[in-house]
């Protein structure tokens, strides 16, 4: 794995534009990008953001590999660790854990980028709360957020976040603030384009329409396709452990998940295993092989199948020449090769392990069952019927990182404004 993105650096404006668009599902306002590339006065500036909620999984390879191509096209790229967005999204990231999760994401994303040969010295990490809630810049940001809120209806804000923010029967007002902040981040990060999954399209459209209403320019938007989950239907999600593989999963866990992954013979559409080959393993191998992708499928009673083109692989799969019992082991070995350096870095880093324990503390051991005590009920003197129901079970963390149970609200947003601001401070050794 000695090759790097530098091996396929684009030179002309057209080459850069082609590389920027490569493997994307859609681009909004591409003329903004083309004009900057043609002028060639400065690099194109792009940002990609992620709410620091559940643990990053293998679906993150898709945007990271695309970021590698942006860098090869000479772009400046900022990665926004959106801590404030974490608890705005239905309290997925309790404020007590936000700072630790920001650290965890920084570790995970850094090692992921290293694993696919990206020069991380050319990236900039930004934490949302550093400019959204702190000092004079935070005060200005808040005022601009209020100005933006006057130009967007509640209906449009809810619609914009409908494919991104967790949907519930009675959504909190924070679900409408979330997309407004994501739009405003484009101005405060000083970029020309925002990059994200196609599920972000409604937020991107909101940004294009709403930012000019308060005097800010519109940006271009770059969208990558979403990888189907490993189980039938849906995308890879932190809230469904069986749908995804975490970046630090142990080898036996990776093998087990891929072995039971949804991969019906001759079905190309909606096949998460096949999509993983297309959007992760092919681009990752290209970075290792001077721009030439290669995927090898070993077969027990026949010659190996060697693919350098995803269209040919899909054609063979649809024709039953390539079968699930051959594809799954090949995907497993190729993925383990990519994940190996990440897992190794985690095992060798005590600091990262300690952050993981603080950011995603294991659930408490279940209490031993106690003998039921007969309740007198509220009709009798001294009766305490209903007290247990009112108090409910103690707060516990769910797979996607949000809290449920008694005290969950307090843990998620803090007991006071001052406490919340303190918890959102992720300064470490003088650096953000």
13-30 as b/e: b if 16+ CB within 10 A: bebbbebbeebeeebbeb
What own/partner pairs with CB < 8 Å and gap ≥ 24 does 232-241 have?
A: 232/262, 232/270, 233/270, 235/59, 235/199, 236/57, 236/58, 236/59, 236/272, 237/400, 238/53, 238/54, 238/55, 238/57, 238/399, 238/400, 238/401, 239/54, 239/398, 239/399, 239/400, 240/399, 241/399
- Domain topology for 5-224: Rossmann fold (3.40.50)
> Using CA atoms, how far apart are residues 232 and 260, in angstroms rounded to an integer?
11
Has residue 369 got a pLDDT over 80?
no
The CATH homologous superfamily for domain 241-358 is Tyrosyl-Transfer RNA Synthetase (1.10.240.10)
The 10s digit of each residue's pLDDT in 308-364 is 999 999 999 999 999 999 999 999 999 999 999 999 999 999 999 999 999 998 876
More confident residue, 387 or 418: 418
Asked whether the predicted pLDDT for residue 403 surpasses 80, the reply is no
pLDDT at position 97: 85
Determine the Cα–Cα distance for residues 303 and 329; give it in Å rounded to an integer: 15
Backbone angles phi, psi at 50, to 5 degrees: -145, 130
Start-to-end CA distance of the chain, whole Å, equals: 31
408's CB contacts (< 8 A; 6+ apart) are 91, 94, 395, 402
Domain boundaries for CATH 3.40.50.620 within the chain: 5-224
Range with lowest mean pLDDT among 129-133, 370-374, 386-390: 386-390
Q: Is the pLDDT score of 421 beyond 50?
A: yes
Give me the sign of the Cα torsion angle 99, 55, 358, 164.
positive
What is the reported pLDDT for 7? 41
Using one digit for the tens of pLDDT, what is the confidence trace for 276-307?
999 899 988 888 777 789 999 999 888 999 99
E strand or H helix at 366, and its extent?
none
Q: Are 159 and 202 in contact (CB under 8 A)?
A: yes
Residue 428 binned pLDDT confidence (cut-offs 50, 70, 90): very low
pLDDT at 238: 58
How much of the chain exceeds pLDDT 90, in percent? 59
Nearest of 243, 231, 293 to residue 8 by alpha carbon: 293
Q: Which residues contact 39 (CB under 8 A, 6 or more apart)?
A: none
Instruction: Give the mean pLDDT of the chain.
Output: 85
57's CB contacts (< 8 A; 6+ apart) are 236, 238, 244, 245, 246, 247
Q: What mean pLDDT is predicted for residues 96-114? A: 92
Predicted confidence (pLDDT) per residue in 65-98, tens digit = 999 889 989 999 999 999 998 878 766 767 778 8
**Nearest to residue 191, comparing CAs of 150, 147, 222, 160?**
222
- CA nearest to 180, candidates 205, 141, 206: 206
Range(s) of the chain covered by CATH 1.10.240.10: 241-358
Q: What DSSP letter does each residue of 207-274 carry, written as one string?
A: HHHHGGGGT----EEEEEPPPBPSSSSSB--TT-GGG--BTT--HHHHHHHHHTS---TT--TT-HHH
pLDDT of 5 reads 42
* pLDDT of 6: 41
- What burial class does residue 313 get, using C-beta atoms within 10 Å of its C-beta: 0-12 exposed, 13-18 middle, 19+ buried? buried
Q: How many CB atoms lie within 10 A of CB 169?
A: 4
Q: Are 122 and 153 in contact (CB under 8 A)?
A: no
> What average pLDDT score do residues 249-265 get?
93
Average pLDDT over residues 109-129: 89
pLDDT at site 228: 82
Give 376's pLDDT tier (boundaries 50, 70, 90): low
**What are the strands of the beta sheet with 220-224, ordered from one edge?**
26-28, 220-224, 193-197, 45-51, 76-82, 123-127
Would you call 150 helix, strand, or coil by DSSP? coil
CB distance 247 to 321 below 8 Å: no
Q: Over the stretch 1-36, which tens digit does the pLDDT of each residue have?
A: 333 444 456 789 999 999 999 889 999 999 999 999
47-55 average pLDDT score: 93
What average pLDDT does range 374-380 have in this prediction?
A: 54
Q: For the CA atoms of 331, 333, 337, 340, what is the dihedral angle to 10 degrees? A: 110
Q: How many CB atoms lie within 10 A of CB 72?
A: 24
8-state DSSP, 296: E
């Amino acid at each position: 794995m000695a090759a790097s993105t530098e091996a396929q650096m684009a030179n002309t404006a057209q080459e850069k534009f082609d590389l920027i668009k490569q493997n994307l599902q859609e681009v909004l306002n591409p003329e903004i990008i083309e004009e900057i590339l043609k002028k060639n006065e400065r690099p194109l500036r792009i940002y990609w953001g992620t709410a620091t909620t559940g643990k990053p999984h293998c679906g993150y390879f898709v945007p990271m590999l695309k970021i590698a191509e942006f860098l090869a096209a000479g772009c400046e790229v900022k990665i926004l660790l959106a801590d404030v967005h974490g608890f705005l999204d239905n309290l997925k990231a309790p404020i007590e854990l936000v700072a630790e999760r920001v650290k965890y994401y920084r570790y995970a994303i850094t090692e992921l980028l290293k694993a696919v040969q990206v020069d991380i010295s050319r990236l900039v990490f930004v934490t949302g709360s550093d400019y959204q809630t702190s000092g004079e810049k935070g005060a200005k940001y808040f005022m601009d957020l209020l100005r933006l809120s006057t130009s967007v209806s509640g209906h449009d804000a809810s619609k914009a976040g409908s494919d991104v923010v967790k949907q519930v029967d009675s959504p909190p007002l924070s679900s409408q603030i979330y997309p407004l902040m994501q739009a405003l981040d484009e101005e405060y990060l000083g970029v020309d384009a925002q990059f994200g999954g196609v599920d972000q399209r409604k937020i991107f459209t909101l940004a294009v329409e709403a930012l000019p209403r308060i005097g800010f320019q519109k940006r271009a938007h770059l969208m990558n396709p979403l990888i189907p989950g490993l189980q039938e239907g849906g995308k890879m999600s932190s809230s469904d452990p069986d749908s995804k593989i975490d970046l630090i999963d142990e080898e036996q866990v990776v093998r087990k998940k891929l072995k039971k992954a949804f991969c019906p013979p001759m079905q190309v559409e909606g096949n998460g295993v096949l999509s993983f080959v297309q959007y992760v393993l092919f681009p990752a191998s290209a970075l290792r092989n001077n721009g030439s992708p290669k995927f090898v499928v070993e077969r027990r009673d026949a010659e190996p199948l060697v693919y350098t083109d995803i269209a040919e692989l899909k054609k063979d799969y649809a024709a039953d020449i390539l079968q699930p019992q051959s594809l799954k082991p090949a995907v497993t070995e190729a993925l383990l090769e990519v994940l190996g350096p990440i897992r190794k870095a985690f095992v060798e880093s005590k600091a990262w392990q300690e952050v993981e324990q603080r950011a995603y503390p294991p659930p408490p051991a279940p209490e031993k069952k106690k003998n039921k005590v007969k309740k007198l009920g509220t009709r009798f003197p001294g009766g305490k019927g209903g007290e247990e129901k009112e108090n409910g079970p103690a707060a516990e963390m769910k797979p996607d990182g949000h809290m449920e149970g008694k005290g969950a609200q307090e843990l998620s947003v803090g007991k006071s404004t001052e406490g919340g601001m303190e918890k959102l401070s992720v300064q470490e050794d003088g650096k953000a």
